[in-house]
Chains A and B, each alone.
Chain A
Amino acid sequence: MSIEARNITKTFGDFKALDGVTLEVPTGELVALLGPSGSGKTTLLRVIAGLEFPESGEIFFHGENATDRSARERRIGFVFQHYALFRHMTVFENVAFGLRVRPRQLRPDERTIRKKVGNLLKLVQVDFLADHLPSQLSGGQRQRIALARALAVEPQILLLDEPFGALDARVRQELRRWLRRLHDEIHVTSVFVTHDQEEALEVADRVVVMNEGRIEQFGTPDQVYNHPATPFVYHFLGNVNLFHSRVHAGRVHIGEIEIEAPEHLGTHDAPALAYVRPHDIELDRVRDGAMIEAVVRDVRAVGSLVRLELDRVDGDEIIEAELTRERYIELDLRAGEHVFVKPRNLRVFLKEA
């Protein structure tokens, strides 16, 4: 079932949580809402769920207007950050709850419930915990059960609010791969909220990057990471170097060097910011054409990549660079030595007046 949000606005007091958000989630996809805290991602999820009602704008499920439907009528499954399991019920009862309390005509019989709950607990790989109380379980187990509970009512849409936010890093990584596999198995249209860019890029089919109640970019992980639409997305997804520069007639001037920027052909002598990822910083010991001179300030050689911090000689900006281990050994750089820098794949945004 597809989800469509049109021009949603929601405020809390003076705070504008959502500011004209329009979004379309295609059927069967796993979409991540990514953004810093206060960017409106959880509010958007709650509006989709029907737990929060927008001041203006509309929600469509499968092309039908669902704006005024209550959470019950929307047939969604919702997984909360802090699990929100019913504390006084066993794991089995928690999962069975949604089925047990259906009106009598729609309620499955006890045998069907047992079978269904058993299958769901197997699906989330915690069937051996059926008789435990939530307080006896670890965070990861609780979150799996919360997911099973959400799936028990056969939702057409699965919504997850920072599902792994309260878990430690290892469990998180394991669970998010598992969520991806689970989604490939059941193919329910799913939306999950996260502030962890790695999580969003690794798990989701598409990523919605949000900031201050607006959508900055909506695209595949590759699109948002490699072709960020706005400076914010650049900053938010991974490390980035900033070069203060000037753009004139399709060329960027950074210090002494000059690089083509065909998208700004019509611009005349305007201040701009050029964004370059650390792995797009090319280093060399000898000057080869126009390059920026810098001094190595710090070298961190942990993992497969070597991170360097460089001080620009012609200004007080710091450049961060990532080299492969091979290239690092080849260059054999030490702190205090001079290097020459050439940025590639840079993206230029004009400075707003």
Chain B
Amino acid sequence: MAKPAPIQEAATSGTLSFQESDSTLVLRPSGRWSVESGIPSLSEVDRRLGGIRRIAFDTSSLESWDSSLLTFVTKLVELARAQGVDVDRSGLPSGVRRLIDLAEAVPERKDARRKDIDRPLIEDVGVATIKTVEETRSTLAFLGELVLAFGRFFTFRARYRAADLWLFVQEAGAKALPIVTLISFLSGVILSFVGAVQLRMFGGQIYVADLVAIGMTREMGALMTAVIMAGRTGAAFAAQLGTMKVTQEIDAFKAMGFEPMDFLVLPRVIALTAMMPLLTLYANLVGMLGGALIGIGMLDITPAAYYVETTKAITVTYVLLGLFKSLVYGAIIAFFGCLRGMTCGNSASAVGDATTSAVVSSIVVCVVANGIMAVLSYVLNI
């Protein structure tokens, strides 16, 4: 009572037909099976499995095969197992049989398979939420450890090398001067141009000096320095610590009885946080020089007038506000640089990720912090 029902699946060369008899489904792969012509889908088999107890193969008309047949059979075996159907492999070419035996003998390597990208939306949301919670937790844990490390530092119990501290001070201070000079000078120039276009309409070019002085001291000096330091030093911290994590140097410190927080993180945070206000002060000055160059050179303001207007505009409060901001930025950049480095994964590519993420998070958080401080200073009338 055989009822043949040939079905063409793969169009070009390799074909698959079926034959059902009693409770056995015989699969007849025929022609040339190759990866190029695609692998027939299992849906057809799945559809026919109702009432089937056994799957067998007849490969008498199979001309040639490659991994496409193997993939098909492997998937079929999985499907059959899930449905409780026996697969009789004796009809397969002996080469296929041996390869499949081999594939089953060696357990599949974990992580080798690419993760399924198709996930329902709700699962995506869940996974993202769990990740955020975990990240927040690890960030807070790091913050807590840093506070403890500072506690040890101020009670002179932290173990670190003074030479390291000085190295970082140099790295985050003097060595950053050239690029800070360039960027803040240009910031001053840009501020001055933006102001000049508007103020000239009212004949108030002289107020360019006020704009540049206030703009630099209150906002731009600190913020531009922060952006530079995030890209330069924050990224360097993440890369250094990340590399040490990957090469297990951090583990080596721990195994030798060192607190990596004291030994590696503390000097970096202290150095950068301490150097930021100094750099900012310098950036303010250079920015105002840049503004003055435009004001005097292109807007016909006399140097004396520019100087007097500038000194009138700056107050100690503005400068202190700018310096306070820079202190906050410095702490943020050092924090995220070290955090991303210390929580870096264990592969070389993880170091790159850590570096990128250090720069992005520190700049974002700096700007957010700036927004908060802007509102606060407005409310407090500073």
Q: Does B138 contact A (CB under 8 A)?
A: no
Inter-chain contact B258/A72, CB cutoff 8 Å: yes
The answer for the CA separation of A84 and B258 in the assembled complex, in Å, is 14
Task: Pick the contact of B257: A86, A153, A159 (CB < 8 A).
Answer: A153
Closest-CB distance, B89 to chain A (whole angstroms): 11
Identify which of residues 217-262 in chain B touch chain A, using a CB-to-CB cut-off of 8 Å. Answer: 247-249, 251-252, 254-259
Q: Does B161 contact A (CB under 8 A)?
A: yes
Q: Does A98 contact B (CB under 8 A)?
A: yes
Closest-CB distance, B107 to chain A (whole angstroms): 9
What chain A residues lie within 8 Å of B248 (beta carbons)?
Answer: 80-82, 84
Closest-CB distance, B101 to chain A (whole angstroms): 9
Q: A71-B254, A72-B257, A153-B257 are in contact. Are A86 and B249 (CB under 8 A)?
A: yes
The answer for the CA separation of A49 and B110 in the assembled complex, in Å, is 26
What chain A residues lie within 8 Å of B254 (beta carbons)?
Answer: 50-51, 71-72
Q: Does A77 contact B (CB under 8 A)?
A: yes
The answer for the CA separation of A70 and B259 in the assembled complex, in Å, is 10
Q: Does A78 contact B (CB under 8 A)?
A: yes
Q: Does A76 contact B (CB under 8 A)?
A: yes
The answer for the CA separation of A159 and B251 in the assembled complex, in Å, is 13
Inter-chain contact B110/A153, CB cutoff 8 Å: no
Inter-chain contact B255/A77, CB cutoff 8 Å: yes
Inter-chain contact A71/B161, CB cutoff 8 Å: no
Interface string of A73-104 (1 = CB under 8 A from B): 10111101111111100000000011001010
Task: Pick the contact of B251: A80, A86, A149 (CB < 8 A).
Answer: A80
What chain A residues lie within 8 Å of B256 (beta carbons)?
Answer: 72, 78, 97-98, 149, 153
Inter-chain contact B255/A38, CB cutoff 8 Å: no
Q: Does B53 contact A (CB under 8 A)?
A: no
The answer for the CA separation of A91 and B29 in the assembled complex, in Å, is 65
For the complex, would chain A's binding face be called helix, strand, loop or mixed by DSSP majority?
loop
Inter-chain contact B247/A82, CB cutoff 8 Å: yes
Closest-CB distance, A297 to chain B (whole angstroms): 13
The answer for the CA separation of A98 and B255 in the assembled complex, in Å, is 10
The answer for the CA separation of A70 and B159 in the assembled complex, in Å, is 16
Q: A78-B252, A78-B255 are in contact. Are A101 and B247 (CB under 8 A)?
A: no
Inter-chain contact B252/A101, CB cutoff 8 Å: no
What chain A residues lie within 8 Å of B161 (beta carbons)?
Answer: 101
Inter-chain contact B249/A51, CB cutoff 8 Å: no
Q: Interface residue count for B (Cβ, 8 Å)?
A: 15
The answer for the CA separation of A150 and B256 in the assembled complex, in Å, is 8
Inter-chain contact B159/A84, CB cutoff 8 Å: no
CB-nearest residue of chain B to A38: B110
Of A71, A149, A159, most buried by chain B (CB within 10 Å of CB) is A71
Task: Pick the contact of A49: B255, B258, B263 (CB < 8 A).
Answer: B255
The answer for the CA separation of A77 and B161 in the assembled complex, in Å, is 22
What chain B residues lie within 8 Å of A78 (beta carbons)?
Answer: 251-252, 255-256
CB-nearest residue of chain A to B160: A101
What chain B residues lie within 8 Å of A84 (beta carbons)?
Answer: 247-249, 251-252
Q: A84-B247, A84-B249 are in contact. Are A103 and B255 (CB under 8 A)?
A: no
The answer for the CA separation of A244 and B259 in the assembled complex, in Å, is 56
What chain A residues lie within 8 Å of B110 (beta carbons)?
Answer: 38
Q: A38-B110, A101-B159 are in contact. Are A71 and B257 (CB under 8 A)?
A: yes
The answer for the CA separation of A85 and B257 in the assembled complex, in Å, is 15
What chain B residues lie within 8 Å of A82 (beta carbons)?
Answer: 247-248
Closest-CB distance, A135 to chain B (whole angstroms): 12
Of B110, B161, B247, B255, most buried by chain A (CB within 10 Å of CB) is B255
The answer for the CA separation of A75 and B259 in the assembled complex, in Å, is 14
The answer for the CA separation of A68 and B102 in the assembled complex, in Å, is 46
The answer for the CA separation of A98 and B258 in the assembled complex, in Å, is 9
Interface string of B98-141 (1 = CB under 8 A from A): 00000000000010000000000000000000000000000000
Of B251, B258, B263, most buried by chain A (CB within 10 Å of CB) is B251
What chain A residues lie within 8 Å of B247 (beta carbons)?
Answer: 82-84, 87
What chain B residues lie within 8 Å of A81 (beta carbons)?
Answer: 248
Inter-chain contact B258/A51, CB cutoff 8 Å: no
Of A78, A84, A87, A98, most buried by chain B (CB within 10 Å of CB) is A84
Closest-CB distance, B331 to chain A (whole angstroms): 26
CB-nearest residue of chain A to B94: A316
Identify which of residues 117-156 in chain A touch chain B, using a CB-to-CB cut-off of 8 Å. Answer: 149-150, 153
Inter-chain contact A80/B252, CB cutoff 8 Å: yes
Of B251, B256, B263, most buried by chain A (CB within 10 Å of CB) is B256
The answer for the CA separation of A260 and B10 in the assembled complex, in Å, is 55
CB-nearest residue of chain B to A103: B159
The answer for the CA separation of A243 and B253 in the assembled complex, in Å, is 51
Interface string of A17-58 (1 = CB under 8 A from B): 000000000000000000000100000000001110000000
Closest-CB distance, B105 to chain A (whole angstroms): 10
Closest-CB distance, B286 to chain A (whole angstroms): 33
What chain A residues lie within 8 Å of B258 (beta carbons)?
Answer: 72, 101
Of B247, B249, B252, B254, most buried by chain A (CB within 10 Å of CB) is B252
The answer for the CA separation of A262 and B141 in the assembled complex, in Å, is 59
The answer for the CA separation of A77 and B255 in the assembled complex, in Å, is 7
CB-nearest residue of chain A to B256: A98
The answer for the CA separation of A71 and B256 in the assembled complex, in Å, is 7
The answer for the CA separation of A162 and B2 in the assembled complex, in Å, is 61
What chain B residues lie within 8 Å of A98 (beta carbons)?
Answer: 256-257
CB-nearest residue of chain A to B159: A101
Q: List 9 A-B residue pairs with CB atoms under 8 Å apart, sorted by A's residue number.
A: A38-B110, A70-B257, A72-B256, A78-B255, A82-B248, A86-B252, A97-B256, A149-B256, A153-B256
Nearest 5 A-B pairs (CB), nearest first? A72-B257, A78-B255, A84-B248, A84-B252, A80-B248
Seed contacts A98-B257, A153-B257; 7 additional CB < 8 Å A-B pairs: A51-B254, A71-B257, A72-B259, A82-B248, A86-B249, A101-B159, A101-B258
